[in-house]
Structure 1
Amino acid sequence: MEKPAEDFPLYADPIPGPDEHVHCLNCGHRFAPKANFCAHCGQGNKPRRLQVGLLLSDFLEGYMNWEGKLWKTFPLLFYRPWQLTIAFLYGRRKRYIHPARLYLFTSLFYFFTVSLLVPTDVIDTAFQRADALGIQMGGGADDGEAEGVAASSTRQRYFYLRQRAIDPDVSLEAFQESLSETMSWDSSYSPIVSVEGLRRFFANSSTYVGNVLRNLPLMMFVLLPIFGLLLVLMLWRRPFFYADHIIHAFHIHAFAYLFYGLAFIYNYLGWVGSDYAAWFSFFWVSMLGFGSLKKVYRLGFWSTTWRFILLGTLYGSVLLLALGLVFWLTFRYQ
């Protein structure tokens, strides 16, 4: 049980130097003779009241330790990520950034980049592009105001429905009629896509995009154990624990987040070849994923190939289902 605050008086008698400490100031564990660190919690054997020099020394020590791991980890993450997994599984766990922290860092980088660079009017832009390509949403027209809209462009239909959704004088029944006239929407769709949900969507499409982006990190984190389970099923004869597959999953997702995030930034900046940035990142992530599967589990080329294809197909299907579920839940409960 943690001691109450009053058991740690701030203004107590000065504590002796490190060599005279008997118990750890953090956990109370007894120090070994002349120990510099606690064997139980890892805290250094230092005075309770730190002077400025020692305080700066602790900060720089922690910073340099993190920076050193950073420069050792990221070069491997770019072109040989399987070495990070192998090193961790073989017990070299202090040399590189911990897999869970690396996953957290790269996922924050990726999703922050996406949320920052994806415009809130992305749905409006998509309808305008569909209009430019001549894509029609289909649907017959009745008499009245909606008849001209039903025969008009995709963009005009979308903005017409948005105007109807925002207007407080338009009842839910009237909005449903507008849906039927412009999108061939049928009331039988209600169990899956309700009229209320469609009205909220058209009225607050930018909010919908933001809510989806906020839900994606949680979705990907939930999918990690599923990815590990797929690895277990395909490599059940190999001498690996489920936790080993999770470590591998952390590293695979980490370099995927890193490359896709950088590709997103490169495409946004519009530099030379930016139109191919997404394809290049997909190709490179696939190659690294293939190599990682081969090296970590010591598989042959063809054994790796069929497992890689099967893993990509299964996980891709799970990913699409999860995305659909996120879109639907966000649509229904935004």
Structure 2
Amino acid sequence: MTSELEIAVADSLPHLSARRRKRAPPPSGPCHNCGAELQGHFCHVCGQNSDTHKRSILHLIWEAIETTFELDGRLFRTVPALFFRPGTLARDYIDGRIVRHVPPFRTFLVALLIFIFAAEHATHEQTLQQQRQKAAHEALLATPAGRAAEVTRIRAAAEKNLADDLKEAAGDRAESLKDPDEKPARVEAAYARHLKSAQDRHARALARADRVEQGLPPPVEVEGLGSNGKGAWFKPGIKKAVANQDYYWTIVFNWAQRLAVILLPIVGLSLALVYRRRKDVFLYDHLLVAMNLLSFTFLTNAAGLILPTVAMPYWFGLVALWTPINLFQTLRGAYGSSILGAVLKTLIVWTITVVSSLALLTGVLVLAVAQV
């Protein structure tokens, strides 16, 4: 899928910067294709370009540089509007004023590809950081003093966690016994299960400390899955994912970039739902608006993924506030909604989009565990 997107975007990039060339005087003579007498740079009969494309090497080099760096005003009008005047941009697309802007589907493809590259970069950096931390931890455990310190830390944490679990279990038991609708036998059974779970975790932690003390590698632990058979099919996959994180995230991205396109009809249909009484706006128009909204989302999140780790929380906090505001501005400008109407419709579309995104992300993560 990545290669398909790269091909599509590569085909679109020249159009993002449709440059204004300094044309030579119109040629004369017959068209090389149909023989009609030329009256301009394009044949008025068959439409073929009259350019023979016979240039020197230096001319080709200069044309490549010119194509790369000489941009017209479309890109510089579209990108700022996408961020700061989304309603005006969407209204232009709906009204057919497209030539002044980059076509919306090209913008959507480029934004999606940029987001995929940024996410892969962030995941790669995270994996490298974990590998460095793991190497430092292994170096620490290679010394007797380091192993002793780690054993002390594990055992102290195990005792604290056991005490906290026992206190929580006792509190839950006391509260449940006060409830006249609760049966004492059921309360005691739940209390016993809580105690057993806490003791099992404590025993596993002590066993891990013993292995570290002996210089043995600790076992891979999967939190949240007990030994009662629940989630047994899932546990081996999680162990493999933890042991092969690069491969796991490769599977995640292979599926995520396919499913990300599904957000386009989801957002478009949610817009069609909230504006179902607008007979002058068609599904095609809703999809144009959805492309703008998703392009904004992909680009802002991509920018956050390439920031330093310390700056990411602040940026994504800003994006979390900015995205619904951008959606509100889009609905106000594109559809002419009132302030109250735009607020209500923003809440509906925003909720549908967030829930759908979380559902898709959860499905991708689970699917990747099953395939790892």
Matched, 1:47 2:56: no
Q: 1:73 & 1:55 partners in 2: Cα distance?
A: 29
Q: 1:301 to 1:43 in 2, by over 3 A?
A: farther
Q: 1:74 & 1:41 partners in 2: Cα distance?
A: 36
Q: 2:337 & 2:57 partners in 1: Cα distance?
A: 54
Aligned residues with identical type, % of pairs: 22
How many residue pairs align between the two structures? 282
From 282, 301, 306, the equivalent of 2:344 is: 306
Equivalent residue, structure 2, for 1:333: 371
Contact 2:297 2:323 in 1 (8 A): yes
Matched, 1:292 2:350: no
- Deviations along 1:267-292, one digit per CA (max 9) or x if unpaired, are 53x46xx6422111221122111110
From 73, 79, 102, the equivalent of 2:107 is: 102
- Deviations along 1:244-269, one digit per CA (max 9) or x if unpaired, are 1111111111112222222333453x
From 284, 288, 291, the equivalent of 1:250 is: 291
Larger Cα-atom Rg? 2
Q: 1:78 deviation in Å?
A: 2.3
Q: 1:303 to 1:142 in 2, by over 3 A?
A: closer
Q: 2:297 & 2:343 partners in 1: Cα distance?
A: 19
Q: 2:274 & 2:325 partners in 1: Cα distance?
A: 19
TM-score normalised per structure 1: 0.69
Structure 1 letter corresponding to 2:340: W
Equivalent residue, structure 2, for 1:222: 262
Matched, 1:281 2:319: yes
Q: 1:279 & 1:185 partners in 2: Cα distance?
A: 39
Q: 1:87 & 1:38 partners in 2: Cα distance?
A: 32
Contact 1:82 1:295 in 2 (8 A): yes
Q: 2:120 & 2:46 partners in 1: Cα distance?
A: 38
Q: 1:93 deviation in Å?
A: 1.9
Q: 1:31 to 1:286 in 2, by over 3 A?
A: farther
Q: 1:277 to 1:31 in 2, by over 3 A?
A: farther
Q: 1:33 to 1:179 in 2, by over 3 A?
A: closer
Matched, 1:265 2:306: yes
From 206, 221, 229, the equivalent of 1:148 is: 206
Residue 91 of structure 1 aligns to a residue whose secondary structure is: coil
Equivalent residue, structure 2, for 1:213: 253
Q: 2:68 & 2:46 partners in 1: Cα distance?
A: 20
Segments of structure 1 that go 5 or more residues without pairing to the other structure are 1-16, 153-158, 163-177
Segments of structure 2 that go 5 or more residues without pairing to the other structure are 1-25, 138-153, 166-193, 211-216
Q: 1:151 to 1:66 in 2, by over 3 A?
A: same
Q: 1:67 deviation in Å?
A: 4.8
Structure 1 letter corresponding to 2:248: Y
From 120, 127, 130, the equivalent of 1:120 is: 127
Q: 1:198 & 1:221 partners in 2: Cα distance?
A: 27
Structure 2 letter corresponding to 1:120: T
Residue 45 of structure 1 aligns to a residue whose secondary structure is: coil
Which structure exhibits the higher relative contact order, with contacts defined as CA atoms closer than 8 Å and separated by 6 or more residues?
A: 2
Q: 1:59 & 1:94 partners in 2: Cα distance?
A: 24
Structure 1 letter corresponding to 2:114: F
Contact 1:140 1:184 in 2 (8 A): no
| CA RMSD, Structure 1 to Structure 2 (Å) | 3.9
Contact 1:212 1:326 in 2 (8 A): yes
Equivalent residue, structure 2, for 1:89: 94
TM-score normalised per structure 2: 0.63
Matched, 1:186 2:228: yes
